[in-house]
Chain A
Amino acid sequence: MTTSNPASGTRHAARAARRAAGPAPAVGPDSTSGESPTRSVPVIAEGLETPAGGRRRRGPSERNRPLWMLIPGGVLMVIVIIVPLLLGIYMSFLDLDQYTLRQWIEAPFIGVANYIEAVSQTNLFHGVWLSVSYSFIATVIAMPIGIAAAVATQNAFKGRALVRSVFLIPYVLPSFVVATVWRTMFQPGSIIDKAFHVFGADPGLFLNGPNTYWTLVFVQIWASWPFIYLLALAGLQAVDHEVHEAAALDGALWWKKLRYVVFPYLRGPISLAFIIGMLNHINNFTLPFVLFGIPAPHDVELLPVLTYVTSFQSFRFGLSAAMAVVSLILIAIPLFIYLRVVKLDDAEQGGRK
């Protein structure tokens, strides 16, 4: 048995031997349905499997599953993510400030008072609106940039590898570095201000006042278009060569080919990029925090910044927890769409690398 070669005809013999040897430790859905000759396409079989099917096939042969390997990661995630998540929701119902924090377990339970205060007496709605609108604008503007870059670098040319590396620089740089650099460039009298003056324009301050919102949108676009570029590139690679040939045979003009032949292929990856972009931008704390500092100017008092300031500047921890719960509700919408779109057991996804 030790000489069995899984790649050849001895496979059947090996499987027969394994069956004879009693409970097989391998429990993939395709190995329990081992009678089928489709051994060579296990991933497809996995893709067809349903949770109900998995449960149905459970049997004595599955006793040796090394489920203990899930424990270390599982324990950590429960202690450092799930428990704090629930604790955060619980805290939003407590009257928690710097005096009660030390004995937080005994802090008075005040029901939804924090939520009422957050809605009526703080800039919560302002922050929610800023977060959502800035995320949306930045994602929507980054999209054509990323797609254009992908379309332009799709064909081989000398130096393409270099161009791709350059395009990914903003993606690679840490957020806090990006924010520090732009903060310096946007200082009054500094290089960007000076450049505007060369053209006779006086836009005013970038890091204070009403311009801050657009400063943030601009820097966010600079930082996140390469992500769209990456996903669009992966989408372009999925276009069949036959499709290109057919378009060439028809003599399609380049913009018609783009519009009617290539873009439909990008719909999937681009929607995914849109949702993930929205999630990342709504949750982004580092960029506004480092770019504008604390306390943030009124026009960039995004929800994450507002939550942070309420906690660690005003020490209204309960109120801040209520705001954080609002941000959880806010990301629940794109997250829900994301979880529906992503195929958990898709064979194609694994093959894409």
Chain B
Amino acid sequence: MTATMATRPGGTAVVDRPGSRQQSQVTRLLPTWLIALVIAALALFVLAPVVYIVLASLNSDISVARGDFWPAVFTPSNYANIWTNVGLANGLMNSILVAGSTAVVSAALSIGTAYVLVRYQFFGRLTIMRGLLALQSVPGTLLVLPVFVLFSSSATYLGLQVIGTRWGLFITYLTFALPFSTWVMVTYLRGLPRELEEAARIDGATSFGILTRIILPLSWPGIIVSGIFAFLLGWNDVLFASVMTNPESQTAAVALQIFATSTEGGAIPYYGQMMASALVCAAPVVILYLFFQKYLVGGLTAGGVK
């Protein structure tokens, strides 16, 4: 390898060709046996619980309780029973409505905010950007009580019932999603060339026109990433949903949590149904991820925040 490169002055061009054998020889960091070992160990580490949840969701409760890996009797009826026992249908519906609308609205708001932050200069701009990063880290446990009190007060003083409705959750998740969604859009919009916007401006387009007709069509990857993260925030939350919902408006996360704790008091918990419900709750997220994997990984490293 070294000889090839030394004898050929133009060798770098060959070496640079992506995917060529030489390139992977040069950039390889570990010997093959170690690569295989690391990958095998980590794949086992990750996949063991994942395979377990699939098998346990098809298993009988007794078999899970005594620690069987392979189902003694396949029990696909778990997947039928969760709809009546767990109240999962209602929970999934609420989760989809709340997280879905959070995703759409948060993406729409964050692209406007990000556009102004990236393309315009004004007093306080850097403070706002710093604030966007800081607000992502405000502990939820600090906010949950005051938000609850504030929303309850709106019922007392304004006659607006927010607690216990999907609206309350929607407003909360939307706001918590905005700092990160906006930050993702900021990093995305920075990468867009300005020439098109300037041409449109010369043609007399307004700022809003430029945003909707030029920036928006170019920004779909960024919009998807910021929308999906907003969706995940709503889908994954337990803290706010556990306090601000009633049985009618509870999300899938809360439904699963309540089912898990209520069933464990008795003889043998409904492990099979619990695992089946967990799998059903994870499914939308996994599907979203598989569809948009390419964008998501890029957006993650750019935003640098979970």
Contacts and interface: CB of A to CB of B under 8 A. Distances in A.
B31 to A, nearest CB: 6
Contact of B302 (A171, A189, A251, A349): A349
Interface stretch (A67-75, A116-124, A132-140, A209-217): A67-75
A152 B30 contact: yes
Interface string B99-129: 0000000000110110111011111011011
Interface in A233-288: 233-234, 239, 241, 244-245, 248-249, 251, 254, 257-258, 262, 272, 276, 279-280, 282-283, 285-286
Tell me which of A231, A327, A331, A349 has the highest count of chain B C-beta atoms within 10 A of its own C-beta. A349
A108 to B, nearest CB: 16
Contacts of A174: 232, 235-236, 253, 281-282, 285
Contact of A172 (B16, B221, B289): B289
Given A76-B174, A353-B187, A327 B52 contact: no
B122 A69 contact: no
Contacts of B146: 83-85, 87-88, 91, 321
A98 interface: no
Nearest to B232: A174
A254 B278 contact: no
Contacts, number: 377
A156 interface: yes
B65 interface: yes
A345 B130 CA distance: 10
B141 A245 contact: no
B171 interface: yes
A257 B56 CA distance: 45
A28 B239 CA distance: 42
Contacts of B27: 154-155, 239, 241, 244
B43 interface: yes
Contacts of B198: 6, 14, 26, 31
A347 interface: yes
Nearest to A290: B257
Contacts of B279: 177
Nearest to A251: B2
Nearest to B111: A69
B266 interface: no
B227 interface: no
Contacts of B206: 66
B236 A70 contact: no
Interface residues of B, number: 133
A77 B178 contact: yes
A299 B50 CA distance: 27
Contact of A155 (B29, B128, B189, B304): B29
Contact of B26 (A91, A245, A304): A245
A1 interface: yes
Given A58-B121, A67-B120, A154-B27, A190 B64 contact: yes
Contacts of B138: 81, 85, 328
A65 B38 contact: no
Interface string A81-111: 1011101100100000000011010000000
Nearest to B200: A6
A189 B256 contact: no
Given A73-B109, A191-B69, A193-B67, A325 B29 contact: no
Dominant SS among interface residues on chain B? helix
Contact of A84 (B117, B125, B147): B147
A229 to B, nearest CB: 9
A42 to B, nearest CB: 5
Contacts of A283: 137, 139-141
Nearest to A241: B16
A184 B56 contact: yes
Nearest to A306: B141
B201 A154 contact: no
B145 A324 contact: yes
A80 B235 contact: no
A258 B67 contact: no
A328 B142 contact: yes
Contacts of A183: 260
B239 A285 contact: yes
Interface of A: 1-2, 4-7, 14, 17-18, 24-29, 31, 42-43, 46, 49, 51, 54-55, 57-58, 62, 64-67, 69-70, 72-74, 76-77, 79-81, 83-85, 87-88, 91, 101-102, 104, 145, 148-149, 151-157, 163, 165-177, 180-185, 187, 189-195, 222, 227, 230-231, 233-234, 239, 241, 244-245, 248-249, 251, 254, 257-258, 262, 272, 276, 279-280, 282-283, 285-286, 289-290, 293, 303-304, 307-308, 311-312, 317, 320-321, 324-325, 327-328, 331, 335, 338-339, 342, 344-345, 347, 349-353
* Pairs A-B, 10 closest by C-beta atoms: A350-B190, A194-B67, A353-B298, A84-B146, A80-B175, A324-B142, A69-B112, A6-B195, A66-B207, A87-B146
11 contacts: A17-B202, A25-B207, A87-B146, A165-B293, A176-B253, A195-B67, A230-B301, A285-B239, A308-B141, A339-B130, A345-B126
